Amino acid sequence: MITFSQVTKRYRGGTEALKEISFTIETGELAILSGPSGAGKTTLLKLIAAIERPTQGSVLVHGQNVGKLTRGAVPYLRRNIGMVFQEGRLLFDRNVFENVILPLRIIGMPHKEAAKRVRAALDKVGLLHREKAQPVTLSGGEQQRLAIARAIVNRPAILIADEPTGNLDPEYAAQLMDMFAAFNQVGVTLVIATHDPGLAARAASRVLHLRDGVLQA
């Protein structure tokens, strides 16, 4: 469960990205965060993962006030949240397999077990046959699926994705949304930011529409 109460985020320099936002996303929901670029979607996702902290108000994730977490506690929050970033954030100095195993290395999982999990995650996104490939050799859609595999390999309770279909053609984008819907079927809470209204209408059980940092009714 994710709860925002009266959350305002003001960046240094005075820009207000979010203004007194309040909402709740229940466990197991698939929520779409829609709205034009600059509406504050990315900021909202960053607040969930404690990448940014709210200026005012509170952000609760599974009952934990993530805005007040100590520096040492933040990593443990993030281990429970899978993230797919707008820019992909893949590591291009290592192959597909090594990219996906990184979250498991971080939690110190023994290699044998981790390797099994990595292959399962790659299988889910349809990249199992490319585990030895270098990320640069993958297409845009494949890179995005690789990022998703890395986000789910640790079996997080929450998955957040920022414009995951941003640079993909519509057919590919639809495939990706089906994949997200499948994760949601097995109980993962999803929050997906997108500026594509078509996608928003398609899969979501819940749509949060942002405009200029304000939640629209």
Partner 1 sequence: MRSLIAQHRAAIVLTVNRMLATPFATLLTVLVIGIALSLPLCLYLVVDNLGRIAANAQGQPEISVFLKDNANAATQHDIEAKLKAHPEVKSYRFVPRDAALKTLSKNMGLTDAAAVLGKNPLPDAFVVTANNADPDALDQLRKDMQAWPGVQIAKLDSEWVRRLNAFLRLGKDGVLLLAVLLGFALAAVGFNTIRLQVLAQRDEVEVSRLLGATDAFIRRPYLYLGMLQGLLGGLGAWLIVASAFALINLRVAEIANLYNLNFLLQGLSWRDGLVVLGLAGALGWLGAYLAANQHLRGSGAAH
Residues lying near partner 1 in the complex (CB under 8 A) are found at 49, 51, 71-72, 74-80, 83, 85, 89, 91, 93, 102-103, 105-111, 150, 154
C-alpha–C-alpha distance, residues 138 and 163, integer Å = 19
Nearer to partner 1, 46 or 130 (CB): 46
Nearer to partner 1, 91 or 201 (CB): 91
Amino acid at site 35: G
Nearest distance from C-beta of residue 109 to partner 1, angstroms? 7
Nearest distance from C-beta of residue 158 to partner 1, angstroms? 12
Of how many residues is the chain composed? Answer: 217
User: Pairing between strand 81-84 and 158-162?
Assistant: parallel
C-alpha–C-alpha distance, residues 186 and 65, integer Å = 26
Nearer to partner 1, 79 or 129 (CB): 79
C-alpha–C-alpha distance, residues 96 and 77, integer Å = 25
Nearer to partner 1, 111 or 211 (CB): 111
Determine the straight-line distance between the first and last CA of the chain, rounded to whole angstroms. Answer: 20
Nearest distance from C-beta of residue 160 to partner 1, angstroms? 11
Nearer to partner 1, 35 or 103 (CB): 103
Neighbours of 155 (CB within 10 A): 12
Nearest distance from C-beta of residue 183 to partner 1, angstroms? 18
Nearest distance from C-beta of residue 145 to partner 1, angstroms? 17
Could you tell me if 158 and 127 are in contact, meaning their C-beta atoms sit under 8 angstroms apart? no
Could you tell me if 7 and 59 are in contact, meaning their C-beta atoms sit under 8 angstroms apart? yes
Q: Which tokens go with 94?
A: 């290592």
